[in-house]
A and B are shown apart, each in its own frame.
Chain A
Amino acid sequence: MQHRRRAFGLRSEVPASPREPFEAVILPELDAAHNLARWLMRDANAAEDVLQEAMLRALTYFPSFRGGNPRAWLLQIVRNTVYDALKLDRAAQFVPLAGWSEDDDIVGIDLPSGEDDPETTLIKSRDLRRLQELISGLPIELRETLVLRELEELSYKDIAEVTQVPIGTVMSRLWRARRALLQAAATQERSR
């Protein structure tokens, strides 16, 4: 069964009235909240703990919700709860991996290409478990950006709000995440 939210993407463009109740505005985003918690915690039980806590926080904070994209609003709470659970600084500018800085050198990327790309095999094989491992192996700041864009389908602006960084940083993280995913896929295929 495929769960893609693209079909519902337009829904998030509709500004929610603050008068609408929690169950009508926020509860439809429970799957989105679980999805983010699951990808960030990388463990089903830990994800449920975070989800429980985040939904209680959302219920508490809901009177302060002033419209906008309810999914982004809820996912920011989920993300903060994850960072609390992992004891990470929510607004950290992560220490870059060797050779990478947060905002510079964003385009210096070598990508393999061609029809016989090793990672094309992975795309064709639809090996979900291995794809999950690849994504789970990304650093959290790349993983969250990638998941928020590709699975939650948030705009750059919403991702910037959820992850508390400038839009430029969102763009560079997204690029690095995609590149890292392609390279990891290629490396893995080659080593098989």
Chain B
Amino acid sequence: MNETLRTRDCDKVLLVQAEFDGELDAAEAATLAAHRQHCPACQAAAAALQRARLLMDGGLYEPAPDDVRRRVMARLAAAQPPAPAPLWALRSRMRAWWSAGIGFGLGAACAAALALLIIAPSGPDPTQELVASHIRALQPGHLEDVVSTDRHTVKPWFDGRLDFAPPVKDLKNEGFPLKGGRLDYVDGRPVAALVYQRDKHIIDLYIWPGVLVGGRLPPTAEYHGYNIVHWRWGGMTFWAVSDVEPAQLSDFAQAWQRAL
């Protein structure tokens, strides 16, 4: 069945293609149609174009995965000039960014994932958002943007990526070795996330400047099996999130605050 059609027998095949791609006006298309009626080469070209499009029709589009989108948004937000706006305005700006970023190309199948991903800037208690971020980061390849056990490597990595300098400490001697860090996006702003290890468990430590409005959150919490410890130090807010035992996470928080 494989007769070979020789489209070289006609020099109008690129016009056939232009029509196929919607690039001809009505007059041009009419002229071409008259020619095509008795040109086997152009008829073959039209059929081939249709088959080529069928080959590419569906499933080949590569939208930005959620974690890539998150990192791009964080990097862009960090690159913006420091906003003189009050916190609430910054939050609404970030919310606009998110909805602008996700407005297209997402089917209903993604809605559930999104609900976890974008728990909108959540008021004074970012607990759920932090746990969602932690779970997302545990997926392969998403944990660290900079992989290093050396705080002198991790700390400078944040330079230029954040409008503040997060303190970085290694707690290897206390049993919580530093693994690396990443840029994350929590509470409507880019934040530093330091990654620590305890045996087989990962502890994420989120850091951003300022204290939370309302500020009377309990220092520890549990959400969906993950433990959370929260403290402030040097004008910054710290949240540790992990699936280690609550007592171990408290040890981590105390070791961190004691360490130089």
Q: Could you list which residues of chain A lie within 8 angstroms of chain B, going by C-beta atoms?
A: 1-5, 8, 23-24, 27-28, 30-31, 33-35, 38-39, 45, 48, 51-52, 55-56, 59, 106-120, 122-123, 126, 128, 131-132, 135, 146, 149-151, 155-156, 171-172, 174-175, 178-179, 181-182, 185
Contacts and interface: CB of A to CB of B under 8 A. Distances in A.
A4 to B, nearest CB: 6
A52 B8 contact: no
B21 A156 contact: yes
A171 B17 contact: yes
Binding site of A, secondary structure by majority: helix, strand, loop or mixed?
helix
A112 B4 contact: yes
A107 B14 contact: yes
A38 B23 CA distance: 27
The contact size tier of chain B is 35 or more
B200 interface: no
B105 A113 contact: no
A2 B58 contact: yes
Contacts of B3: 112-114
B76 interface: yes
Interface of B: 1-8, 10-11, 13-14, 17-18, 21, 23, 44-45, 47-49, 51-65, 68-69, 71-72, 75-76, 79-80, 93, 96-97, 100-101, 103-105, 107, 109-110, 141
Contact of B13 (A23, A27, A150, A175): A175
A182 B59 contact: no
B6 A110 contact: yes
B55 A182 contact: yes
Given A27-B100, A150-B56, A155-B23, A5 B105 contact: yes
Given A56-B79, A128-B59, A179 B48 contact: yes
Contact of A27 (B1, B11, B57, B101): B101
B218 to A, nearest CB: 35
B241 to A, nearest CB: 24
A97 to B, nearest CB: 17
A71 B93 CA distance: 22
B113 to A, nearest CB: 11
Contacts of A108: 8
